[in-house]
């Protein structure tokens, strides 16, 4: 999966605007995943972070407990626009 990064502002549970980041990459033991996990952990210190992955292998990385790891619905990640719009809509209305 080609990594990509998406930023949005969503309302949190207490109805305050919160900066939210969606970071998509293969969560496996690789230098690319190590970089994006470190970035996610740093962002999670102040923001809401979601990792979207279709491939989650055993890996040595510690992921901040505040980060939600969501599984991509298929092995071949297509239709990203529709999936992310639905995800953002669901998160906004929750």
Print pLDDT tens along the chain (94 aa).
455 555 555 555 554 556 888 888 888 888 888 999 999 999 999 888 988 887 667 788 999 999 988 877 665 656 666 667 677 667 666 5
Q: Which two tokens stand for residue 81?
A: 């626009």
pLDDT of residue 1: 45
Q: Which two tokens stand for residue 12?
A: 């949190």
Confidence (pTM) = 0.69
pLDDT of residue 37: 94
Phi-psi region of 13 (alpha: psi -120 to 50; beta: other; left: phi over 0): alpha
């Amino acid at each position: 999966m080609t990594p990509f990064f998406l930023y949005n502002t969503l309302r949190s549970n207490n109805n305050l605007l919160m900066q939210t980041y969606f970071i998509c990459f293969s969560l496996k033991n690789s230098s690319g995943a190590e970089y994006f996990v470190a970035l996610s952990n740093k962002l999670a210190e102040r923001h809401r972070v979601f990792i979207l992955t279709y491939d989650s292998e055993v890996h040595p990385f510690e992921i901040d407990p505040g980060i939600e790891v969501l599984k991509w619905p298929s092995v071949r990640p297509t239709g990203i626009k529709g999936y992310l719009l639905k995800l953002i809509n669901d998160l906004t209305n929750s």
